[in-house]
Amino acid sequence: MSDDAAAGPTAEPDANPSVRRVSDWDADRLAALASEHGTPLYVQDLDRVRENCERLRGAFPDADVRYAVKAHTGRSVLEAVREAGLDAECASAGEVDRALAAGFGGDRLHYTAVNPPARDLDYVVGVAEAEPGLTVTVGAVDTLDRLAERGYDGRVCVRVNPGVGAGHHEKVKTGGAAKFGIPYDRAAAATRDAAERFDVVGVHAHAGSGIDPDQLDSHRELVARMGELARELAEPQGAEPPVDIEYVDVGGGFGVPYREDAPPLDLPAVAEATREAVAPLPAGVDLAIEPGRYVVADAGVLLTRVNTVKPTPDERVVGVDAGMTDLLRPAMYDAYHPIRNLGGGRGSDGTDAPAPDDRSATPVTVAGPICETGDTLCRNRALADPARGDLLAVGIAGAYGYEMANQYNSRPRPAEVALDDETAAVVRRRETLADLTTVERDATSNRTDRPNRSDRTGAGR
């Protein structure tokens, strides 16, 4: 990485620190990007993505490391992950399509089907005909039947529900939810039955998303159960032969510290505990993991501009141009994201506001432009007293930030810039008002007498 890191982060003594805080980003560079490309704006640092991949591969040198694509599906990110040597774990046909477009071959693709729609299965079975190395991970006997009905007899991994869940919110704890996987007490029999119809290559479980250091006991219990299952499958069952699997996939969910004072995950210690819990694996069976958030979360920030400062009897409300349509996690999960005031605004008297370091820390509620009470990025958070025009940087926003962006309230989705060494490029343009209706058609006919709105570009850039 160059000294100025193209954008981003200021130099640190550790060339590959275990977490990049929002305070580590170069404020002047971020301000220049916001000035050039407008706000709201996502900024994703590909150098940081590669560093995180490198750290994972270093901590798990003997494991198959697969990136959970749903964390961030941008082409530039997927290409960086592929070049770093990680495989792709995809949760939908769309993610499989994106991974193929980013250069992943079938032997590096893993499709994890959760109640897959028929069109998804049709697409993936078609891909597997051309890319026979693709693996389909299945969490229901019903799905195995549906694959067989389509003539598929290729690589299958059986997803198990280990009865152990963990994660940063109840909505993302998958390990104990009935929706995910075949119950543990039925998993061995289901896997043996599947082996009669498919090339069963692995077993899989996932505790949840955003597992913090306090929940590692749950992760270890899941890993231990999967090791026991692998050993059971390696033994003959009566007249039935052993199931010759290639790997045990224990999922991802490795947490990152969103709060400023939260310590980073001790990844080497987690890796060692994982190896100890799953061991001994049968000969020829490898360990696999599938981190997503850990790869991209601290590689991204969301930039937003203050447009309104409203003192009220109960709180000081700071209105910004980014809301729950741009970053849904605070509204959906009550998620905490660090926020840094980069300044640049003007005071009530029309003069330039002081630099943020020269302002008092003031409790504020940062609220977006969506017509919902829950559309807030924080409540009663102490920030350098915001002024209209200030630029705010919302940190640790690279995972599930742009991925969950939406058009609620008919708001176009934001632009995204990717930083790569000394370059900065727009990798997703800002949507326009015209983009909101491009997929719509007249209910009664394909009328051509509508006004042409192709010149409507919407607010901002």
Compute CA 456 distance to the chain's CA centroid, rounded to the nearest angstrom: 32
269 pLDDT band (50/70/90 cuts)? Answer: confident
pLDDT, tens only, 89-103: 999 999 999 999 999
List the one residue out of 323, 338, 356 whose CA is nearest residue 398: 338
pLDDT, tens only, 410-422: 999 999 999 998 8
**What is the full DSSP assignment across 176-225?**
T-TTSSEEHHHHHHHHHHHHTTSEEEEEE----SSB-GGGHHHHHHHHHH
Q: Name which of 29-43, 191-205, 256-270, 360-374 the model is least confident about.
A: 256-270
Q: What are phi and psi of 239, to 5 degrees?
A: -85, -5
> What pLDDT does residue 213 have?
55
More confident residue, 77 or 13: 77
pTM for the model: 0.89
Residue type, 419: L
C-alpha angle 272-276-280 in degrees, rounded to nearest 5: 135
> What is the SS3 assignment for 421?
coil
Active-site residue, from 53, 90, 157, 371 = 371
Q: What are phi and psi of 400, to 5 degrees?
A: 60, 25
> What pLDDT does residue 359 have?
96
- 378 in active site: no
> What pLDDT does residue 214 have?
64
6 pLDDT band (50/70/90 cuts)? Answer: very low
pLDDT, tens only, 163-172: 764 434 343 3
d(Cα 20, Cα 46) in Å, to the nearest integer? 13
**Adjacent-strand bridge partners of 27:** none
458: pLDDT strictly greater than 90: no
449 pLDDT band (50/70/90 cuts)? Answer: low
C-alpha angle 155-157-160 in degrees, rounded to nearest 5: 165
pLDDT, tens only, 32-71: 999 999 999 999 999 999 999 999 999 999 999 999 999 9
Q: What percent of the chain has pLDDT over 70?
A: 88
CB 182 within 8 A of CB 204: no
> What pLDDT does residue 93 have?
97
